[in-house]
Structure 1
Amino acid sequence: MARIQWVGFDGDDTLWKSEDYYRQAEADFEAILAAYIDLADPRTHGHLLEVERRNLKIFGYGVKGMTLSMLETAIQLTDERISARDLHRVIEIGRTTLQHPVDLLPGIREAVAQIASDHEIVLITKGDLFHQEAKIAQSGLADLFHRIEVVSEKDEGTYARVLRELDVAPGAFAMVGNSLRSDIEPVLGLGGWGIHMPYHVTWALEAEHGVAHDAPRLRVVESAGQLAAALAAIEATPVA
């Protein structure tokens, strides 16, 4: 049987709401740009996303990187015509997003506590260190976790390092998260288990993955209340 020793949890859109605030920030950003450009012009479609993609290795993930990419995009798309006042409004969008409330997903506290009663659990979240630490503190969940990792990227190398430090084999590790790209695919690639709990909105870059819907080490749940049962099903699975 597949005895799981450690269970990992993602933070944003797994434990608490996040992408909703980014979507609102993008809508507010587009409202500013609408005074300068035709938002329906296909040449502008996806420009912010491509700037964010290009800047990821420089600015990293999170609101601060998004805000810098918004400023760059605004200057480019308006041919430098955007006013200082409107650039300041873009900065305020970032400030507001950084200060959003931390709203836990329904039932997640109970689900995490239930799993923590039988397993070691680790929070593995990526993004800006300062912002992630603030959200973790505000969530009220920190005391449930045996370890917390804030990382700059979630790839096989990062998970391999974390598993080494936890002294756990990949086959004895399960990761819970909303992102197939960041939470599930790297863990499956190492030989671990993934429990995918989709969120109702997903950032376009996080939607890029190569996980098959019928991957043998993948389980899918609709809500936090199903997590413990999914983990039990994994542990009841015969291991070849």
Structure 2
Amino acid sequence: MEVDYGNIKVIGFDADDTLWVNETYFREAEEHFAQLLENYETKNKIDQELFKMEMQNLEIYGYGIKGFLLSMIESALDLSNNTVSQATLAQILNLGKEMISRPVELLEGVTHVLEQLQDKYRLIVLTKGDLLDQERKLEKSGLSQYFHHVEVLSDKKEENYKNLLDHLEINVKEFLMIGNSLKSDVLPIIGLGANAVHVPFHTTWAHEKVPVEEQTGNYLTLNSITEIMKYLN
């Protein structure tokens, strides 16, 4: 695919699984959760019920670890018919606390790319999730110095992006979004007429997966975030 980013002035970066590791920790927590409840149901059934609970709760809790934790507790109560022990509930709470307190593991090449781009472009973070948790991760990451603006969105649909770009007075033709999720970081941006780069992460939450027939549009897919330098220099 031939691309021309000569008119780009602002670059937006997703945070989780684009700048640092995130989804891996959710999958690990799910494994531990299934082990805690193995006396009540099969792992497959536990995984299915937890995901169903997360989807039901998205509008209430939003995205992030806290909503995930509350969904685990609610699922444990349902799967056990309200007989799950206080000790097990305490262990589930600890799973969430451990996720929140984990160190931030930057993805390879992220710091180098930001260092190369910071003086040439206006860099911003556009992520979704829990505000406190995302602010904490950004501070732990040591990457704050590279960004002109950080926005934690409740969701990442076309309307969310449009409202933000309008608020920041960013011309869509001068904007490039880089992220790991086709559903959240790429397709809504393409729908606005802006530019997007897809950098897949090895693990994708089921809610973020896009059917093959919907994976269409004029966007660039890279194996690593470092490859973007070929198109911006």
TM-score scaled to structure 1, two decimals?
0.90
* Gap runs ≥5 in structure 2: none
Alignment match, 2:171: 169
In structure 1, give the amino acid aligned to 2:20. W
Question: 1:154, CA displacement in angstroms?
Answer: 1.0
Equivalent residues in 2 for 1:170-209, closer than 5 Å:
170-208=172-210
Alignment match, 2:86: 84
Alignment match, 2:100: 98
SS, match of residue 46 in structure 1 = helix
1:113-143 deviation line (CA, Å, top 9, x unaligned) = 2122211111111111111000000111111
Aligned partners of 1:185 and 1:210 also within 8 Å? no
Take 1:209 and 1:173, find their aligned partners in 2: how far apart are those partners?
A: 26
Alignment match, 1:238: none
1:162-186 deviation line (CA, Å, top 9, x unaligned) = 2112212212111000011111111
Equivalent residues in 2 for 1:62-77, closer than 5 Å:
62-77=64-79
Question: 1:149, CA displacement in angstroms?
Answer: 0.7
Q: Which runs of 4+ in 1 moved over 4 A?
A: 209-214
In structure 2, give the amino acid aligned to 1:16. W
- 1:45/1:74 Cα in 2 relative to 1: closer, same or farther (>3 Å)? same
Take 1:82 and 1:205, find their aligned partners in 2: how far apart are those partners?
A: 27
What is the RMSD of the two structures over their aligned residues, measured on CA atoms? 1.7
Alignment match, 1:114: 116
In structure 1, give the amino acid aligned to 2:19. L
Take 2:47 and 2:26, find their aligned partners in 1: how far apart are those partners?
A: 17
Take 2:168 and 2:121, find their aligned partners in 1: how far apart are those partners?
A: 13
1:182-222 deviation line (CA, Å, top 9, x unaligned) = 11111111001110000010111011368855522x00111
Equivalent residues in 2 for 1:25-36, closer than 5 Å:
25-36=29-40
Q: Aligned residues: percent identity?
A: 37
In structure 2, give the amino acid aligned to 1:26. E
Take 2:137 and 2:170, find their aligned partners in 1: how far apart are those partners?
A: 27
Q: What is the aligned length?
A: 229
TM-score scaled to structure 2, two decimals?
0.93
- 1:17/1:71 Cα in 2 relative to 1: closer, same or farther (>3 Å)? same
* Gap runs ≥5 in structure 1: 233-240
1:83-106 deviation line (CA, Å, top 9, x unaligned) = 111011111111101111101001
Take 1:207 and 1:45, find their aligned partners in 2: how far apart are those partners?
A: 16
- 1:125/1:219 Cα in 2 relative to 1: closer, same or farther (>3 Å)? same
SS, match of residue 148 in structure 1 = strand
Alignment match, 1:53: 55
